[in-house]
Structure formats: structure tokens, C-alpha cells
Structure 1
């Protein structure tokens, strides 16, 4: 076993490191609206319109409403519970995993899985962006547009949460206003009553299949919620931003996609939304990609920083890692290599949902390392030691992944999460989650001083630090 101490980098703290291996202090937290804007940005992309249109092609309007309701409720439950862990502990998903069912080496495995999966999707979405710009503007080859788009997003993510907040403040309103204008032209040709009463144009889709699309479409984003909610100020903020972000994203954007499918009698609604050539179509496309791809890159970077720290004991600068893997993802996108690995990336996506189930079970039910987290939180640092591996967590992860991959009934991603959660909880109650296994040092550095001002506008005044469990809803413990 090798120690994974977390020494401070030599000299002054690295700019824009975003507390990648530390707790986010209360003074650096954001207002719920600031964080919610970024969450809504993830759920108001072209892909969300496409998801709604896919539902609309195979379901009536009201059946689609029910499917979205079922899928959204499942997403909100998972997002709130995993988000509570993030806001309370102020740590990223991969670092939290050290004390929530996986151990230090297990958290490195999680960080690597997340990093490879999300940087892969970063490249795939960047390729879509490049082809769209080439079609709308032309001028440069697709490969060059890929490099421009990927490196542009990388530049935003280098500035961390603050940079992404600014990007969301600009891109979310721009996308919604201009996309709504494009959509309005199409829907204005039909009466609302006609659209909600018309039968689907394609093959019928079952309610279970529809709910699977909704829940499965954002489950990876839900699992990575602590990367975002560590910047929230209270559990109430997490609940508000989840209800607003998920509800608006799934219902408003998703149902507009349903109406578009009923109006155009096709699921190819992306072409409608971006059909306006020139400046408007270009802005819609850019805004759609930037506000979701920045989070793909950000979470993959946090995961990789944790991997390096666990395996080498080094604390590398998050901004520098962002530059390296952002450039790598951009180059892979430009070469077109990633399009041949979509099936592999999809499989990696199956590995991620069980992670949330295990973290929830450990933190709220088994609580083997919960006292360590609480004691260190009062000190403002990390627990002194972390387990090397947690066999029960790895076993539950494997079982959940197997169920998600091989069992088609129900919603595979949710099946995987539930099996992993229940499995770990049962193993814990049977005494098979043991604290007496080898522990390795986790000598965290003393909390550094505040970094650059953390908000463009709304997060300007920190809230008072939480002083007890009273900020949590009944039963949150």
C-alpha cells in the first residue's frame, strides 16, 4: 500500500484549482440560483429536445407527460440524495468515494471511469458541434471547427466553476430565446389542441420505455451531482435547484420536443431548431453545446486529479489537467476516432449509476465512515485516514452493473443503482462493511485561503455556515 498524502503545491495556491481535493469553504459557496442556472443548462440542450421528440414520435402527448413525470421523479430523488452529500461535505464525487463505500483505491477506479467516459462524450459532442458549424457557416474544415470548439470549451473550464457560471449566464438565456424563436415558427402553424390530441406518428412506445429514456438520459449527470452541489450553501438550495433545474429541463424542454414531433411528424427536430442559418442558428448551436460540454470536461478533470493523487500522492493543478485532457479530447474529436468507440462509452455509462447507490447507502444507512467525515468537517479538512479498498462496495458495484447490463425489464440505469444501493446496505447491516481493514493516511493540507472571487453576480455574499442538522430535511440523516 502506498500513502496518498495531499501536499500543497509549492508556492502560492494554483489559480482556479477549485478545491479539487479539498472541501469547498463556506465563503466560496454560491447562491442556489447561480448553481441552478448551470444545472438547467445541462438539461436544456438540443439533446433534450431530441429526447422529447423521440417520446412524441411514439407516444400521445399525455402519455409522454406521464413518462416524463415518472422519469423525472426518479432523477430528482437520486439527485437530491447524492446532492445532499455533496453540499454537506463540500467534496467532489470521486474524492467523496474514498469514505462512501469504495476506499481510496476504489475512488481512483471511479475517477478513471468517470474521466474516460466523460472526456469521450466531450469529444463526441464536440464533433457534432463542429459538423453543425461547418454546415451553418462553412469556410473551415470540420476538423478545424472541432479544434476551435473543443479548445474554446477548455478555455472556459480552465477558469473552473466561476468561468462556467459566467458561461451559463450567457449561453442558457441565449439558447432558450433563440431556440424558442425557431420552434415558435414551426408550432405557430398548428393549434395547441390539435398537437396535444394528435396520435403519434411512429411506432408505439410503452410507458416503461419512455420513462427509461427520461431517467437514463441524465442519470450520469445525476450521479456527478456532488461536483456541482459542493458549491451550494444548504440542503434547501440543493432541493430548490434540483426541482427547478430537472423540472424545467424535463417538462418544458422535453414537452416542447414532444409537440415538435407531433407537429413535424418526425423526431428529427434538431434540424428545425437550428434551421435558421447565419448568426441565430450558429448561436443556438454554440450555446447548446458549451453549457453541457463544459461539465463533461470539468467532472472528468476532477476525477483524473483524484486518480493522480491516490496513485502518486501528488496534488496536480486542476487547471493544468484541464488543458491537457481538453486538448486531447479536441484532437480525438477532430480525427473522428471517438465515433468508433460510442458503444464502449455507452458501456462505461452503465458502470456509473451504481456508484450513486453505494454512496447513498454508505452515507445514510451503513454510516461506517460518516463519523470520520463529520469530525473532519468540523475541522475544515479531510479525515486522517481512508480505507484502501472496501470489498463490499466493489461487490455491490459489480452486481449493480451486471443487473443494469443484462436485465432489460424496468429502467436499466435505475435497476443498477437500486441493486447496488440495497446490496451494499444489506452487506453493511450483516457486518460485512468493516472499518478494521487496512487504512492509509489521508493527510490533507490545511485549508487554503479563499481563491478568486467566486461569483459574477449572485454568489457575492456568503451565507452563514451550517451549524447543525437543522438545515437538513427530516430523515436526511
Structure 2
């Protein structure tokens, strides 16, 4: 099998390279079966009551489904990567700022997942086999295999996901059934308890767990033939699979009174399933993180060599694993939601209401270096959400929702005001 070198980082995916939507749905679903998704539900169950956890997970999944459907459909309709969409919305140089932020975040996620992978693998090897693995060696191995997979592009990730999704579906069902054998669902929901975090912060954490993936969905949905298929993909992956996986983690944590997912699986007698989640889930998720990082950098600096870019990004992501950010995991997710949701809000309004032709037939003619309206709207959305976190202003109570809506509204209003002064500012890049 030869490494894929044409990933259409700076051009639309041609018709003969598109695939059926269900194949892309396998990739999106595989991301939901990853260890961080299980841990998000587990973390929430430790700080909220079972009924409150259920409400938070449902609300967060609904928000993700709406947001993801918008970004996925735009990706499928334009056949462009998220980074090319950023280039159109924010300008070529303005997008460089946005894409750099994405690349740094994705490499950070790469490091987080290798950190999770290595810690879990070392722990499982000791608990199940009595063998102590060197952490650094596990991290290097994980970084290497994930980097090699990325060499073969989206199709390799797609094939791997199709093989592994059924395995992790079985693991999730076993985790839920084993947990409910300890305590029934009715008894769990009947439990009372005080929540250590607000409903809004909980929803923002759920959204933050997936938000980077939701914003960069065009990277994979651009391979789908029709936008309706992109929406089907998101409903299955976010409203069904992602919600189920987070709920599995929450049910397991509440039923067994343990905040350690590996402990829970070992207690339930499914230690092998822990290995499956840790190895298989992390493998696909991080390969996709690295793939999107590559698209981000290549779309910003298209002259760079594809293979060298992947090797350098993989090395940097592996190095990032040595910086432990797991201690502030929920806070990390929360601030990610604040920073990245406004980007999706701006692009959605720009495409759906303001300048659709700029993403299709007039793409080259309407290019510019900076689009101040988009950059300013992104900043406004993030600042409003941060102000809400500091208690200075309260809107919906959910920072992720505030960031998206305010950025979208600010962009729409600014564009309308400028349009009254004449068409030139809108067309030339304002």
C-alpha cells in the first residue's frame, strides 16, 4: 500500500475521490469511542448527580449535533478542508492566525491522548500481567504508530475505523451492562446529590470534549458526496454514539463509585476491553488529530513536503505528551470550547447568509489577506464567553453556546452595517 500524498489540502475534493457517507460516519464514530470521551462522562458523574449528569450529556450532545451538522454540511457542499474555509472567511493571512491556533490545539490533543494512552497501558500491563513498561518507551511507540498511519492519509484512517468500530461497540455495551448489573438504572437516577459544577459549565465541558473535532469536521466530510449524508453522519456519531459512550462512562462511574475507568473495567472482569479502548481508540483519534494538523499547516504553507510535515508534527505531538495537562482536563475542555466555537459561528453565517459564492465559483476572485469583520467577530465571541466565566456577564449560562451565538450575531450585524456603505467592503475583504 502506497502512502497517500494527495489530500487536497488547498483545493476541493473532486467527485471521483468522494465516498459514501456511511464510510465517513465510521471515522466520526470511531473518534467518539476514544478514551477521552469515556473519561468525560466519568468525570461528570463524579461532580454531578446522576439525573443532572444525564441532562448535561443530552444537552451537550444536542448542541454538538446542531453545530456539527452545520460545519459538516458546509464541508460536504464546498468539498474544502476546514482550513481552506478559514482562509475564505478570515482572509489568507488572517486564517494563518486561526490555523496556527488549530494546529497548536490539535498537537496538544495529540499529546493528551498519548499521555492517556501511555498511563493506561503501563497501568494495565502491571495490573493484568505484572509487567512494568517504561512510560517513555510506550509514548514513543504510540507516537510512531499513529504517525505512520497518518502517512497513508484519510483512506487509511477510514479503513482502520471500519475495522475497529464493531469491536468498541461491543466494549461499550459490555461496560454498560456490567455496570447496570451492579446497580439498576432506576436506582441510579433516583440517587440524590449536590453538583459541584453548574449546569452550564457541565454542558460546556461536554461540548469542549468534542468541539475541536466538530469545528474541523469538513476535513473528513468534504469526502461525502452530498450534504445530507454529512448531516446523517453527525446525527449517528454525536447524537447516538458520542452520547452513548459518555453515558457509559457516567453510568460506570456512578454505579461502582469509582472515578478510574481502568479500575472499573478490571473489577467488571473486562480488562481486555480496557486495552481495546486505550489502544484502538487512541490510535484512530490521534491519527486523525495529526492528519488535521497536517492539513492546517499545509493549507497555510503549501510548499512544505507532506511526509516531512507529518514526521515533524508527530514528533512535536509526542514531545507534548511529556507535559501533563490531565490534572486540569475539564478546564482544558472548557477553554477549548470558548476559543473554537466562534470560528464555526463566523463561517456558518458567512456561508449560509452572506457570501456563499466566495466558497464556490467566486472563491479565487474574492480572496483577500485579512477580513477584519471575521477576526473581530471571533474575538468578540471569545471575550463574551470569557467574561461569562469570570462572572462579569451572563447570557445562556453556557460559554460554548454564548461564544458561537455572539460571534455569529456580531459578524452578521457588522457585515450588514458595512454593506449599507456600499458593496466594496464586503467583497474586498471586510
Distance 1:227 1:322, change over 3 A: same
Superposed, which structure 2 residues align to 1:31-46 within 5 Å?
A: 31-46=20-35
2:170 aligns to what?
177
Q: Describe how 1:355-434 pairs up with structure 2 within 5 A.
A: 355-367=343-355, 370-375=356-361, 383-384=364-365, 386-408=367-389, 409=394, 410-431=397-418, 434=425
Residue in structure 2 matched with residue 233 of structure 1 by the alignment: 225
Cα distance 1:63–1:345, how it changes in 2: closer, same or farther (>3 A)? closer
CA contact (8 A) 1:23 1:89 kept: yes
Hey, what's the Cα distance between the residues in 1 that align with 2:99 and 2:216? 11
Report the Cα distance in structure 1 between the residues aligned to 2:318 and 2:43, rounded to whole angstroms: 29
Q: CA deviation at 1:58?
A: 4.2
Contact 1:159 1:319 (C-alpha < 8 Å) held by counterparts:
no
Residue equivalent to 1:475: none
Say whether 1:255 aligns with 2:244. Answer: no
Shift of 1:46: 2.4
How much does 1:224 deviate? Answer: 0.9
Asked if 1 retains the 8 angstrom alpha-carbon contact of 2:172 and 2:245, the reply is no
Would you say how many aligned residue pairs link Structure 1 and Structure 2? 411
In 2, the alpha carbon distance for the partners of 1:230 and 1:149 equals: 28
Unaligned segments of structure 1, at least 5 residues: 1-12, 377-381, 440-477
CA distance in 1, matches of 2:218, 2:308: 22
Q: CA deviation at 1:384?
A: 4.3
Q: 1:56 aligns with which of 17, 40, 45?
A: 45
Query: Is the 1:91–1:226 contact (alpha carbons within 8 Å) kept by the matching residues of 2?
Result: yes
Preserved CA contact (<8 Å) 1:50 1:270: no
Name the structure 2 match of 1:281.
274
- Counterpart-to-counterpart distance in 1, 2:211 and 2:341: 7
Judged with a 3 Å threshold, the aligned counterparts in structure 2 of structure 1 residues 113 and 204 are, in CA distance, closer, same or farther, namely: closer
TM-superposed CA distance for 1:91, in Å, is 0.7
Q: CA deviation at 1:277?
A: 7.9
- Aligned-residue offset at 1:371: 2.0
Contact 1:219-1:353 at 8 Å conserved across structures: yes
5+ residue gaps, structure 2: 126-130
TM-score (norm 2): 0.87
Judge which range, 74-83 or 344-353, deviates more: 344-353
Aligned partners of 2:271 and 2:48: how far apart in 1?
34
Write 1 or 2 for the structure with the bigger share of helix.
2
In structure 1, which of residues 272, 282, 288 is the aligned counterpart of residue 264 of structure 2? 272
Q: Distance in 1 between matches of 2:336 and 2:234?
A: 25
**Aligned-residue offset at 1:436:** 5.3
Alignment root-mean-square deviation, CA: 2.8
Partners of 1:59 and 1:126 lie apart in 2 by 28
